[in-house]
Every structure is written in C-alpha cells, then in structure tokens.
Amino acid sequence: EHTAYLLGGDHIWRSSPSLLVEEFAQGPHYGAQMMGTAVIGISATGFGPPPQFVYRESIFPVALTDEEYERLADVSLSCLRALDLGWGPSNVELRWTKLGPIVIEVNPRVGGAPTPRLVQVAYGVDLVTEHIKAVIGDEWDLRRRHSYTAAARLLIADRDGTLEWISGDSQAAAVEGIIEAKFYVEPKMPIVRKGDYRDWIGHLIAVSPSFAQTTTILQDAIDLIDWSIAPFPTPSD
C-alpha cells in the first residue's frame, strides 16, 4: 500500500521508480570498540522510543557469556576484513536479533561520546591518546590498567519549553561511584527537542568493580535528579 502511494503520487522521486526496503533489526544493541585488529571490549547501548531512537545510555564492558562475546567479536572483525580496514580505531555497531548478530554500522573511527570516556574509566585505556600515537607513528598501548564497569546515562528533556529549575544534581554527584554529573543547560533556557543527540541536557557516569553495582549506583543517582520545564506561551496567552 505504501509503495503504491509513493510510486503513484506526485512525489519528487516518481521519476526514479525504485525503493529500498530495509529490515527492522530488533534486539539488544552492542558496540565493539577496536584498535587495529584488537577488540578492546564490547559495550551495550540503549535508546529512547521510536521513531527517533535517541541515544540515552551505555555500559562498558557489557556482561556477556564467552560465546556471545566471541560471536560479536568475530562478526566485527570480519567487517574490518571485508572493508579492508584494520588501521587505528574503529567501532562496529550490531543488534542481536532472532537471527543472531546483525551489523548496523561500521565506523573507522573512535566511538562517539561517551564511549571513549567509559573505556578509559573501565580499563584505563585512552582511545584518543592511542589514536594520536598511531597517527604519529608511535606504538600504541592497549594494556588494561584495571578492570571496572562504567556506565553513562544521558538525560533527555521530556517536553519543549523553558527550563524552570533543576534539583538534585549536586546530591547525585555526591553518590559514591559517580564520577561525572553534568548539565548542559541552565534555568530560563529554552528547550526545543530535535529528535537526536541535541536533546541531551546532561549526563551521569558511574563506575564500580561490577556490572550490577554500577547499574545500581547510576540508577540511585538518577532518582535524585528532577527538573521542571514550563510550556512555551501560546498566541492566546
């Protein structure tokens, strides 16, 4: 029905009557963080509701079985071979569907924020510094200095309007295990959501020796934070 509508109406693409239909890959989202042909670790990512799927949380490394880790790592490395990549940093995004791991993106670069920070906090490996070493011809060092679990939550406005107040940010920052608690906005600032990363109004990063403890710390801190956004005045107002 929708194909007939697109091809039959007065649309700008009617001169090229072809469509690309992509499968909706449903399942947990993972990211393999790599340098050269070495898999440093695998993160898990969470998103807001459709249709925007705004990125909202990440944890590194994610708790996986050995078999799950190997499958994700093998698929990621096969992507690098298929695309003749393997120099410097890269990250491969996948979803684990009913068919197994499905590749979403292959990015020949360091993963987007806050991934580099999570890797640094969890393993003591600074991807940005190691990337610079690769560029200038120095030998990079991917050895883990320690082994923790780090997680980030991006705070997203729930409506458009004027930010009236924020509370609990200092209390959240004081929670043991929280290493960053930042807001990018201040009271009286207008909030206009775009349906992408520009909707972030702040973030929290937690770290601890275990996956379960880190997620608990992060949620405890989030529960302390609140804000109020007043709707924009209407013409009648």
155 in a structural domain: yes
**Residues 136 and 185 reside in one and the same domain:** no
Structure tokens at 221: 């801190």
11 in a structural domain: no
Strand partners, 156: 200
95 in a structural domain: yes
**Residues 62 and 116 reside in one and the same domain:** yes
Contact 76, 34 (CB under 8 A): yes
**Residues 136 and 155 reside in one and the same domain:** no
10 in a structural domain: no
**Residues 121 and 32 reside in one and the same domain:** yes
pLDDT band of residue 145 (cuts 50, 70, 90) is: very high
* Known catalytic membership, residue 153: no
203 in a structural domain: yes
Identify the domain boundary among 126, 147, 168: 147
pLDDT at position 204: 97
Containing domain of residue 112, as a range? 25-147
**Residues 133 and 156 reside in one and the same domain:** no
Cα-Cα-Cα-Cα torsion 48, 62, 109, 82, nearest 10 degrees, comes to: -110
pLDDT band of residue 85 (cuts 50, 70, 90) is: very high
**Residues 129 and 160 reside in one and the same domain:** no
**Residues 135 and 161 reside in one and the same domain:** no
Q: How far is CA 174 from CA 36, 54, 178, 183, 206, in A?
A: 38, 27, 7, 15, 11
Q: What is the mean pLDDT of the chain?
A: 92
The active-site residue out of 109, 144, 145, 159 is 109
pTM of the model: 0.88
Q: Summarize pLDDT for 93-125 with one digit per residue, the tens.
A: 999 999 999 999 999 999 988 999 999 999 999
**Residues 57 and 88 reside in one and the same domain:** yes
Identify the domain boundary among 119, 147, 175: 147
Q: Which of 32, 55, 28, 58 is nearest to 45 (CA)?
A: 58
**Residues 207 and 177 reside in one and the same domain:** yes
What share of the chain has pLDDT > 70, as a percent?
96
Residue indicated by tokens 């406005």: 157
Residues in the chain: 237
What share of the chain has pLDDT > 90, as a percent?
83
**Residues 140 and 30 reside in one and the same domain:** yes
12 in a structural domain: no
pLDDT band of residue 144 (cuts 50, 70, 90) is: very high
What is the enclosing helix (H) or strand (E) of 46? Answer: strand 38-47
Mean pLDDT of all residues in 47-56: 88
**Residues 142 and 29 reside in one and the same domain:** yes
The CATH number that applies at residue 45 is 3.30.470.20
Q: Summarize pLDDT for 171-225 with one digit per residue, the tens.
A: 999 999 999 999 999 999 999 999 999 999 999 999 999 999 999 999 999 999 9
pLDDT at position 12: 56
**Residues 66 and 84 reside in one and the same domain:** yes
111 in a structural domain: yes
Domain total of the chain? 2
8 in a structural domain: no
Identify the domain boundary among 97, 129, 147: 147
